[in-house]
């Protein structure tokens, strides 16, 4: 081949490659990437629950579906309020095939949403979590925050569906792809308890150990999507209330003249959704003398969305003299505040591992304890533990402040013997006043931080932040880390990236292949003619002589 022919061949080949590359780029321009959050995968006593798959690679489909539609090779995309729970129950109970499910959660609209709209969203999310968390889901399920991009995507998918042909490799449409490794078991999940002390003031010659009052709140959450389990109210509100109470009493105890003759123990515990496993380990780790010194413990749980009624849950009968005294102290302060505190008695069954309230773990160690909560009845297992609906918008700063004032004033009157005297120790506009900015800033932080215990390492920055903050107000602060025990096994892959591709139909692919093939044939013929001549081109396609003719 002559040099000019080789140059021409190189240029033509380069043009062909460039043409193919530009075509692929044009097809790939429609791709978009968004963050999605996977439905939790876990085993309970060996039973597989939650989503059992993570990889998604299917064409997108939307509701309503045509009669007899086969979704085994489709990923259903549905806004939360457009997804009938009866549809999900049907697919789960009857074990129908579904390629995948992408649920679009409404984004925060602030004051634009009416109370009815917010209530509807909360109700649907609550029922959805109950269904998905307690069932084995054989296909991948993801959550995403609805926005304009998904709005445009749904509109385009509806246009394709209106033609009467569902999206497929034949008809084209949109394809949803999540490339993820096979979920693996979380090995040796840990729980971390954080505690700090405010030592009381001993009198001269007083050798006996001072009585202790414990303020406790669990800080971890559980929900259908671990990466979205923020738990602003349950139990972010309890954690914030504890930190503010610690700040107030640290100022009171910083002066020996105003330091009470009670030790105050502050505990931030983990494993709350799992029968308060961390609380049990925390109490078991105490010296028996320390446990016996605890006068009573106040557990704070879900105190961020009440307006008038707060409930005191106890294991001992309300007629018990000590319980009666504590309740009356809280009732006196609540009446002055213009709110109501009720009391609920629930016996504990020591043989049953199920623990509905945190104070029940104290009761198992024969320590008097109570739980303050806006909930009048104990939640069901793995419910009201910081699910999808429990966001910052569901929590009110004023509710947390009311809780702090109620607990702080009641404690102060008990510690300093002020019952019956209308004295506000933490009065507004005083040096001991509650700080709304402090409450709001910590509530905002907790409302941005998922806190599902198996995915929080003991050196997690959030745990370090809690320890640092408690160290600012108390002494002898330390973290107790231990393995999460029980019937649970958790799996990783809680967050992923969803790639959305607009794909052409097979008809387009065949047409594109035909055009490209024709171009390559013409190019080949041109190169042969220009370098060898027409005769050589004809000889390529000429039928070779048979063996008989060759032999003759």
For 440-469, write each residue's pLDDT tens digit: 999 999 999 999 999 998 899 999 999 999
Does any domain span residue 159? yes
Does any domain span residue 521? yes
Does any domain span residue 494? no
Q: What is the pTM of this model?
A: 0.85
pLDDT at 185 over 60: yes
Outline where 255-396 has alpha helix (H).
Answer: 277-284, 288-293, 321-337, 359-364
Q: What is the pLDDT of residue 111?
A: 47
Query: Cα separation of 498 and 144, whole Å?
Result: 9
Mean pLDDT, residues 390-399: 95
Tokens of residue 344, six digits: 């609920």
pLDDT at 18 over 60: no
Three-state secondary structure call for residue 225: coil
249 and 163 in a common domain: no
Q: What is the pLDDT of residue 437?
A: 97
Task: Kindly indicate the confidence band of residue 390, based on its pLDDT and cuts at 50, 70 and 90.
Answer: very high
231 and 120 in a common domain: no
259 and 285 in a common domain: yes
- Return the HEC string of 82-124: HCCHHHHHHHHHCCCCCCEEEEEECCCCHHHCCHHHHHHHHHH
Query: Cα separation of 395 and 389, whole Å?
Result: 11
Q: How many domains does the chain have?
A: 3
Mean pLDDT, residues 422-436: 91
Query: Cα separation of 221 and 452, whole Å?
Result: 5
Q: What is the mean pLDDT of the chain?
A: 87
261 and 120 in a common domain: no
Does any domain span residue 350? yes
414 and 370 in a common domain: yes
Contact (Cβ atoms closer than 8 angstroms) between residue 388 and residue 143: yes
Q: What is the pLDDT of residue 157?
A: 81
250 and 172 in a common domain: no
Task: Kindly indicate the confidence band of residue 25, based on its pLDDT and cuts at 50, 70 and 90.
Answer: very low
Query: Which of the two residues, 445 and 64, has the higher pLDDT score?
Result: 445
Q: CA angle at residue 28 from 23 to 30, to 5 degrees? A: 125
How many other CB atoms sit within 10 Å of the CB of residue 40? 26
133 and 97 in a common domain: yes
Does any domain span residue 145? yes
Query: Cα separation of 366 and 283, whole Å?
Result: 11
198 and 171 in a common domain: no
246 and 167 in a common domain: no
What CA–CA distances, in Å, run from 445 to 107, 170, 391?
Answer: 18, 49, 11
Mean pLDDT, residues 491-513: 79
Task: Kindly indicate the confidence band of residue 3, based on its pLDDT and cuts at 50, 70 and 90.
Answer: very low
Strands 32-38 and 141-145: antiparallel
pLDDT at 552 over 80: no
Mean pLDDT, residues 495-518: 76
Does any domain span residue 4? no
How many other CB atoms sit within 10 Å of the CB of residue 162? 8
Pick the closest to residue 454 from 485, 478, 479 (CA basis): 485
Domain of residue 395: give its range. Answer: 191-202+209-419+448-484
Query: Which of the two residues, 174 and 266, has the higher pLDDT score?
Result: 266
Mean pLDDT, residues 363-379: 96
488-502 burial by CB neighbour count: b if 16+ within 10 A, else e?
bbbbbbbbbebbbbb
Contact (Cβ atoms closer than 8 angstroms) between residue 98 and residue 91: yes
Query: Cα separation of 103 and 97, whole Å?
Result: 17
Q: What is the pLDDT of residue 519?
A: 80
Q: What is the pLDDT of residue 228?
A: 95
* Residue-wise pLDDT tens digits, 469-486: 999 999 999 999 999 987
- Return the HEC string of 363-390: HHCCCCEEEEECCCCCCCCCCCCCCCCC
Q: What is the pLDDT of residue 186?
A: 93
Does any domain span residue 274? yes
Most confident region among 144-148, 181-185, 507-511, 522-526 by mean pLDDT: 181-185
Q: What is the pLDDT of residue 68?
A: 75
Mean pLDDT, residues 68-87: 90
Mean pLDDT, residues 397-413: 97
Q: What is the pLDDT of residue 22?
A: 46
Three-state secondary structure call for residue 415: helix
Tokens of residue 513, six digits: 């292949």
Instruction: Provide the percentage of residues in the chain whose pLDDT is more than 70.
Output: 84
CATH number of the domain at 396, please. Answer: 3.40.630.10
Q: What is the pLDDT of residue 205?
A: 60
Strands 294-300 and 212-218: parallel
Q: What is the pLDDT of residue 350?
A: 84
Return the biggest CA–CA distance within the chain: 131
353-368 burial by CB neighbour count: b if 16+ within 10 A, else e?
eebbbbbbbbbbbebb
Does any domain span residue 427? no
135 and 85 in a common domain: yes
Contact (Cβ atoms closer than 8 angstroms) between residue 297 and residue 362: yes
Q: What is the pLDDT of residue 486?
A: 78
195 and 159 in a common domain: no
82 and 164 in a common domain: yes
CATH number of the domain at 157, please. Answer: 3.50.30
Of 44-48, 133-137, 335-339, 526-530, the range with the lowest mean pLDDT is 526-530
Of 138-152, 352-366, 435-449, the range with the lowest mean pLDDT is 138-152
Q: What is the pLDDT of residue 29?
A: 44
């Amino acid at each position: 081949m002559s040099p000019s022919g080789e140059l021409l061949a190189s240029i033509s080949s380069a043009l062909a490659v460039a043409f193919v590359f530009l075509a692929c780029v044009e097809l790939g321009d429609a791709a978009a990437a968004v963050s999605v959050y996977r439905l939790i995968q876990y085993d309970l006593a060996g039973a597989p629950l939650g989503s059992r798959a993570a990889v998604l690679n299917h064409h997108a489909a939307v509701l309503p579906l045509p009669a007899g539609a086969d979704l085994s090779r489709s990923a259903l995309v549905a806004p939360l309020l457009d997804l009938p729970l009866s549809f999900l129950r049907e697919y789960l109970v009857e074990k129908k095939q579904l390629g995948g499910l992408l649920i679009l959660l409404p984004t925060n609209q602030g004051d634009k949403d009416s109370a009815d709209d917010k209530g509807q969203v909360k109700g649907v999310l609550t029922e959805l979590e109950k269904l998905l968390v307690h069932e084995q889901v054989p296909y991948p399920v993801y959550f995403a925050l609805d926005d304009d991009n998904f709005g445009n995507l749904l509109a385009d998918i509806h246009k394709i569906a209106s033609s009467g042909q569902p999206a497929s490799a034949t008809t084209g449409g949109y394809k949803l792809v999540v490339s993820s490794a096979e979920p693996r078991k979380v090995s040796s999940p840990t729980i971390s308890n954080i505690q700090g002390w405010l030592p009381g003031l001993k009198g001269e010659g007083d050798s006996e150990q001072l009585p202790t009052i414990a303020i406790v709140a669990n800080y971890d959450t559980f929900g259908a999507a671990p990466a979205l389990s923020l738990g602003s109210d349950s139990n972010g509100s309890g954690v914030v209330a504890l930190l503010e109470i610690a700040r107030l009493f640290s100022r009171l105890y910083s002066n020996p003249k105003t330091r009470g003759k009670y030790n105050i123990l502050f505990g931030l515990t983990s494993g709350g959704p799992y029968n308060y496993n961390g609380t049990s380990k925390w109490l078991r780790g105490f010296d028996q003398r320390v446990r016996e010194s605890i006068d009573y413990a106040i557990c704070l749980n879900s105190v961020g969305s009440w307006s008038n009624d707060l409930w005191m849950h106890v294991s001992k009968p309300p007629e018990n003299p000590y319980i009666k005294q504590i309740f009356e102290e809280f009732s006196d302060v609540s009446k002055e505040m213009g709110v109501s505190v009720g009391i609920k008695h629930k016996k504990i069954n020591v043989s049953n591992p199920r623990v509905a309230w945190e104070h029940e773990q104290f009761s198992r160690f024969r320590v008097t304890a109570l739980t303050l909560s806006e909930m009048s009845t104990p939640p069901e297992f793995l419910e009201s533990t910081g699910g999808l609906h429990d966001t910052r918008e569901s929590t009110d700063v004023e509710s947390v402040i009311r809780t702090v004032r109620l607990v702080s004033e009641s404690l102060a009157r008990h510690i300093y013997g002020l019952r019956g005297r209308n004295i506000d120790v933490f009065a507004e506009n005083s040096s001991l006043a509650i700080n709304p900015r402090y409450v709001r800033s910590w509530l905002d932080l907790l409302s941005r931080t998922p806190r599902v215990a198996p995915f929080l390492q003991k050196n997690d920055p959030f745990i370090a932040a809690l320890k640092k903050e408690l160290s600012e107000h108390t002494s002898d602060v330390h973290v107790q880390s231990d393995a999460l025990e029980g019937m649970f096994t958790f799996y990783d892959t809680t967050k992923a990236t969803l790639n959305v591709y607009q794909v052409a139909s097979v008809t387009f692919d065949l047409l594109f292949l035909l055009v490209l093939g024709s171009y390559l044939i013409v190019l080949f013929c041109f190169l042969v003619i220009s370098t060898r001549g027409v005769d050589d081109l004809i000889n390529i396609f000429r039928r070779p002589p048979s063996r008989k003719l060759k032999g003759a």
